[in-house]
C-alpha cells in the first residue's frame, strides 16, 4: 500500500501536467493521470502544485566562524528548511589547517548524525593541501570523493583564515579534472580587500556599512575571472558560490559564451535586498545584513534576475549562516571586521523566490523548479534521485499552495535566530505538505517527522557530464 496524491499539477523543470503521483517504499512509483486508488492512502492535492523538494546546495549549520558558531545546528536548521519546502541541503565541512579532510568529514557527519531532519550532503572546504607539495591533500580529495563528497570549496578571500593561494587552487582544480569532482569558489580578491579594510579601520570607520564598502564588486569580478581562467587551464568546470554583482556575472556570462563549463549560484539576499534599503549607514542594526560578498547597490538586482532567466546563473542557494543579533552580531559593535559574517535564509528561499520570481512574472514555474531543485541536484551529483518528480526518484515532494499567504517574521519562523532578513514580508505561495523519501514530514507549517531521520547523501562526481 502506498500514498497516492491526486488532483494536483505535477511540475518539473521541463514541463507541468495534471497527474496523480504514487509513492511506494520511499520512491515515486508512478506519475500519470488516473492511477487506480486501490488500497492506497489518498492525499487530495486539488488546487495545489506538486514540486520536487527543494535542494539548497549552500548552508552552514553549526559552523565555527569569527569566534562564534552559526546559530542553527543540523536539527533546527534542517527542520526549518523542511518547513519551507527544502528536502535536501549540501552543507560545508571545514578542513582545519594542519588536519586531514577525513577529520573534518567525521566531525561534520557527527554534527549531523541524529539531528538532520532531511537528507544532506557535504562539500569539503579545503584550507591546506599539506606540506609535501600538495600530495597528501590531493590524495585526501580523492578519498573524499570515494565518501560521496563530490565538491570542494576554496576561498580566494579571508586571508589568514580560509584563503588559499592560486597555486593551491590550481592544484585542486587539476585534481578535479582527474577525479570528476567540482570546485566551488568563494571568489573575491582577499588581499586587495584586506588592504582596503585596514586603511578604512585606520581612518576610524568601524560601522557595519564599511564591511560592504570595503568589498568592491570589481574585487569579486576579478576573482571570478581569475578562477575561471585557472579552471580553463586545468581543463575542468568551476562553480562560483554566492555571486552577488553584475560585474561578477559578466565574467561568468562571457566564459559560458565561450563554451566553458562555468557555473554560478546567487542567493535571495542579492536578488531582493540592497545596500540602499538595508545598509544606509545609520545604525548597528545593519549588522544583520553583514555577509560576504556584501549587499550590493540595487541596480545589480535586475541583472541577477536576468542571469537566472537566461541561464548565466544556474542555481539559487541561501548561504544560510545565521548569527543572532543580540549576542553574536554584536561582537562587532566597535569593529565591522568582528561581525560574524552570514545571514539566515534556509526556511524562506522557496517562498521569496516563488513570490518575487514566479508571482512577479520574472521566471516561469518550471524555471523556479530548475533553479531551486533540479539544477543543484544535477550539478552536485544527486540527480535524478533528487530534483525530479518521476518514477524511481526519491519521493521528496512538496504540495505547494500557490495562493497561501504567509507573513515572514522572526516571531514565527523556525530558524534559531532572533531576526529575519525578510521581516514583515508578505508572500503568496507556501509549502502545505512536504514528503521526504515518502514520509510526510511537514503538514500545515509544522514539522511532524522524526528528528534525525535525515540520511547522508553520497554524491556522484559528475566529471563534467552535465555539459
Residue 267's binding partner among Zn ion, ligand URP, none (Cβ under 5 to 8 angstroms by kind) is none
- Distance (Å, whole) CA 9 – CA 55: 20
Residues 362-381 close enough to bind ligand URP by CB under 6 A = none
DSSP helix/strand/coil, 105: helix
Q: Are 445 and 83 in contact (CB under 8 A)?
A: yes
Q: In sequence order, what E strands does 321-388 have?
A: none
- Cell for 168? 593551491
Alpha carbon distances (Å) from 2 to 24, 37, 40, 64, 398:
5, 9, 5, 42, 17
Residues 51-70 close enough to bind ligand URP by CB under 6 A = 60
Chain residue at closest Cβ approach to Zn ion:
186
Residues 6+ apart with CB under 8 A from 280: 209, 286
Residue 115's binding partner among ligand URP, Zn ion, none (Cβ under 5 to 8 angstroms by kind) is none
Is 319 one of the binding residues for Zn ion (CB under 5 A)?
Answer: yes
Q: Please report how close the Cβ of residue 188 comes to Zn ion at its closest, in angstroms.
A: 8
Q: Are 390 and 28 in contact (CB under 8 A)?
A: yes
Q: Please report how close the Cβ of residue 179 comes to ligand URP at its closest, in angstroms.
A: 23
Is 244 one of the binding residues for ligand URP (CB under 6 A)?
Answer: no
Is 301 one of the binding residues for ligand URP (CB under 6 A)?
Answer: no
Q: Which of 265, 319, 370, 396 binds ligand URP (CB under 6 A)?
A: 319
Is 341 one of the binding residues for ligand URP (CB under 6 A)?
Answer: yes
DSSP one-letter string for 322-349: ---TTTTGGGGTT-GGGSPP-B--TTTH
Pairing of strands 16-24, 3-11: antiparallel
Mask of contacts with Zn ion, 173-192, x by CB under 5 A?
-------------x------
Give the residue with the Cβ less far from Zn ion, 123 or 355.
Answer: 123
Is 171 one of the binding residues for Zn ion (CB under 5 A)?
Answer: no
- Cell for 268? 535571495
Give the residue with the Cβ less far from Zn ion, 120 or 400.
Answer: 120
Residue 296's binding partner among Zn ion, ligand URP, none (Cβ under 5 to 8 angstroms by kind) is none
- Distance (Å, whole) CA 55 – CA 57: 6
Q: Which of 74, 239, 289, 291 binds ligand URP (CB under 6 A)?
A: 291
Pairing of strands 315-316, 64-65: unpaired
Rg (CA), the chain: 21
Q: Please report how close the Cβ of residue 134 comes to ligand URP at its closest, in angstroms.
A: 23
Is 292 one of the binding residues for ligand URP (CB under 6 A)?
Answer: yes
Per CB under 5 A, the segment of 16-24, 222-230, 250-258, 314-322 that binds Zn ion is 314-322
Is 220 one of the binding residues for Zn ion (CB under 5 A)?
Answer: no
Q: Which residues pair with 265 in a beta bridge?
A: 315
- Cell for 129? 593541501
Residue whose C-alpha is closest to residue 234's, from 189, 182, 165, 191 = 182
- Distance (Å, whole) CA 76 – CA 294: 25
# chain residues binding ligand URP, by CB under 6 A: 9
**What are the residues binding ligand URP (CB under 6 A)?**
60, 186, 242, 291-292, 319, 321, 341-342
**What are the residues binding Zn ion (CB under 5 A)?**
186, 319
Amino acid at each position: 500500500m502506498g500514498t497516492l496524491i491526486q488532483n494536483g499539477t505535477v511540475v518539473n523543470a521541463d514541463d507541468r501536467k495534471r497527474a496523480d503521483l504514487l509513492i511506494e517504499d520511499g520512491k515515486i512509483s508512478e506519475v500519470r493521470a488516473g492511477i487506480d486508488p486501490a488500497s492506497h492512502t489518498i492525499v487530495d492535492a486539488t488546487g495545489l502544485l506538486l514540486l520536487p523538494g527543494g535542494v539548497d546546495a549552500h548552508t552552514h549549520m553549526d559552523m565555527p566562524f569569527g569566534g562564534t558558531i552559526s546559530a542553527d545546528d543540523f536539527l533546527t536548521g534542517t527542520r526549518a528548511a523542511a518547513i519551507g519546502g527544502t528536502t535536501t541541503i549540501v552543507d560545508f565541512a571545514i578542513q582545519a589547517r594542519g588536519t586531514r579532510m577525513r577529520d573534518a568529514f567525521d566531525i561534520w557527519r557527527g554534527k549531523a548524525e541524529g539531528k538532520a531532519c532531511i537528507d544532506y550532503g557535504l562539500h569539503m572546504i579545503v584550507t591546506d593541501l599539506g606540506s609535501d607539495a600538495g600530495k597528501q591533500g590531493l590524495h585526501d580529495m580523492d578519498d573524499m570523493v570515494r565518501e560521496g563528497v563530490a565538491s570542494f570549496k576554496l576561498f580566494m578571500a579571508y586571508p589568514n583564515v580560509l584563503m588559499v593561494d592560486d597555486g593551491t587552487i590550481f592544484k585542486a582544480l587539476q585534481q578535479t579534472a582527474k577525479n570528476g569532482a567540482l570546485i566551488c569558489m568563494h571568489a573575491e580578491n582577499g588581499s586587495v580587500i584586506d588592504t582596503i579594510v585596514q586603511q578604512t579601520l585606520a581612518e576610524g570607520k568601524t560601522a557595519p556599512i564599511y564591511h560592504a564598502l570595503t568589498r568592491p564588486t570589481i574585487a569579486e569580478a576579478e576573482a571570478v575571472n581569475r578562477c575561471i581562467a585557472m579552471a580553463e587551464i586545468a581543463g575542468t568546470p568551476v562553480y562560483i558560490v554566492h555571486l552577488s554583482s553584475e560585474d561578477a556575472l559578466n565574467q561568468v556570462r562571457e566564459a559560458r559564451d565561450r563554451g566553458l563549463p562555468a557555473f554560478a549560484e546567487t542567493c535571495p539576499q542579492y536578488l531582493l535586498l540592497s545596500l540602499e534599503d538595508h545598509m544606509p549607514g545609520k545604525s548597528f542594526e545593519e549588522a544583520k545584513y553583514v555577509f560576504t560578498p556584501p549587499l550590493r547597490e540595487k541596480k545589480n538586482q535586475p541583472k541577477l534576475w536576468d542571469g537566472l532567466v537566461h541561464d548565466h546563473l544556474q542555481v539559487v542557494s541561501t548561504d544560510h549562516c545565521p548569527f543572532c543579533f543580540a549576542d553574536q552580531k554584536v561582537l562587532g559593535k566597535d569593529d565591522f571586521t568582528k561581525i560574524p559574517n552570514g545571514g539566515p535564509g534556509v526556511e524562506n528561499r522557496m517562498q521569496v523566490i516563488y513570490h518575487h520570481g514566479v508571482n512577479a512574472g520574472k521566471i516561469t514555474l518550471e524555471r523556479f523548479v530548475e533553479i531551486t531543485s533540479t539544477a543543484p541536484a544535477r550539478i552536485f551529483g544527486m540527480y535524478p534521485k533528487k530534483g525530479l518528480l518521476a518514477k524511481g526518484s526519491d519521493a521528496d515532494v512538496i504540495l505547494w499552495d500557490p495562493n497561501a499567504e504567509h507573513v515572514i517574521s522572526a516571531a514565527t519562523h523556525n530558524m534559531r535566530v532572533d531576526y529575519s532578513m525578510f521581516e514583515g514580508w508578505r508572500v503568496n505561495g507556501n509549502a502545505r505538505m512536504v514528503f521526504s523519501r515518502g514520509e510526510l514530514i511537514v503538514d500545515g507549517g509544522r514539522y511532524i517527522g522524526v528528528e534525525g531521520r535525515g540520511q547522508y547523501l553520497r554524491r556522484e562526481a559528475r566529471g563534467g557530464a552535465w555539459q
